[in-house]
Amino acid sequence: MGHWGHRPRGQTCPQPVDGTMSLDMKEHPDAEVQKDRVLTLEDWQDKWVTRHISFHQEQGHQLLKKHLDTFLKGQNGLRVFFPLCGKAIEMKCMRGTSCDVHLCLPGISSEEDDDDDNDVSVRRPWPHVVGVEISEIAIREFFAEQNLSYTEEPLTEIAGAKIFKVCIDYVLQGTFPYTAAAFLIFPDDDDDDDDDNSSNEANIGKFDRIWDRGALVAVNPGDRDRSQFTPRYAELILSLLRKEFQYLVAILSYDPTKHAGPPFYVSDAELKRLFGTNCVMQCLEEVDAFEERHKTWGIESIFEKLYLLTEK
């Protein structure tokens, strides 16, 4: 049946000779059909209120589990970013492998302070995970489901934002307290009139790793790239990356004329357009992701493709 037909459940992506990228998956001829589709922050918050959260994977993401060693490369002191994290269980799983977890939302700066006392990106002996989320429900559910107690305080850089922290005694070359999880909840900033009077950025430093599952495919298509005056998702992600980074991103392929999204259709060509100038792009694996629930979308097939982006 060609590109939109059935394929093996999982397969390694064919690699080009230069190892940069596989473009075996053809772009749908109507790829632009979703370009004007817009979801507001309230729409996403409502999904948590009404429990339309089928995007959450209770058992974690199988491709991340399979390629975790490739992603982390056995290195210590990594900073790992989870954009639009929801209540992803991988945040605790990584903490369980000597990770420090923090989570955040839009309106973040990657500038790093020269003063180590104030620099949130100072390297630690354990990985430090930072994430972003709009839904306070998601964060509180993460704590409850993972049996983690926490403290809550305002984030001073952004009016109305909150930070949730967990402190745990952890044995690593001795016993000492460390921040195991901090979740930053940012307010819905629809009123741009007050921009001159308040900060809209929180400095969270730069990252060695980014795990992007459900973020790029959730961002409104019109917000992926820079507008005339405003940096958008791709530019923000690139600004958060350190030297020798690894950016692991999952994209979805289906017939966008049959489902308006989200999750949105992202082609190989679109991924290359957004990141190809700055990144070497390697497809690690492609899997048939079709489930019974996808029938309600009106589609007959959906494939997930995992890419590893590294410094060019």
Which is it for strands 303-311 and 279-288: parallel, antiparallel or unpaired?
A: antiparallel
CATH topology match: 1-38+220-312 vs 40-59+76-111+118-205: yes
pLDDT of residue 95: 57
CATH superfamily of 40-59+76-111+118-205: Vaccinia Virus protein VP39 (3.40.50.150)
* Reported confidence tier of residue 5, pLDDT bands at 50, 70, 90: very low
Look at phi and psi of residue 179 and say left if phi exceeds 0, alpha if psi is from -120 to 50, else beta.
beta
Residue whose entry in the numeric block shows the structure tokens 């966008």? 256
Which is it for strands 241-253 and 279-288: parallel, antiparallel or unpaired?
A: unpaired
- Could you write out the DSSP letters of every residue in 286-305? EEE---GGGGGGT-S--EEE
Share of the chain above pLDDT 70, in %: 66
Average pLDDT estimate for 228-242: 82
Range in 76-85, 214-223, 289-298 the model is least confident about: 76-85
Q: Is the dihedral of CA 108, 109, 115, 121 positive or negative?
A: positive
pLDDT of residue 30: 84
pLDDT of residue 16: 45
Which is it for strands 162-171 and 175-185: parallel, antiparallel or unpaired?
A: antiparallel
Q: How many residues does the chain have?
A: 312
Query: What is the rounded CA–CA span in Å between residue 288 and residue 57?
Result: 16
Q: Is the pLDDT of residue 252 over 80?
A: yes
What residues does each domain of the chain span?
1-38+220-312, 40-59+76-111+118-205
Q: In sequence order, what are the beta bridge partners of 166? A: 181
Q: Is the pLDDT of residue 152 over 90?
A: no
pTM of the model: 0.78
Report yes or no: 252 and 303 within 8 Å, Cβ to Cβ: yes
Average pLDDT estimate for 106-131: 48
Q: What is the mean pLDDT of the chain?
A: 75
For 62-93, the pLDDT digits (tens) are 999 999 999 999 887 788 888 888 898 887 77
For 265-285, the pLDDT digits (tens) are 999 999 999 999 999 999 999
- Give residues with Cβ within 8 angstroms of 236, minimum separation 6: 108
For 37-53, the pLDDT digits (tens) are 999 988 999 999 999 99
Q: Is the pLDDT of residue 191 over 70?
A: no
Domain 1-38+220-312 has CATH 3.60.15.10: no
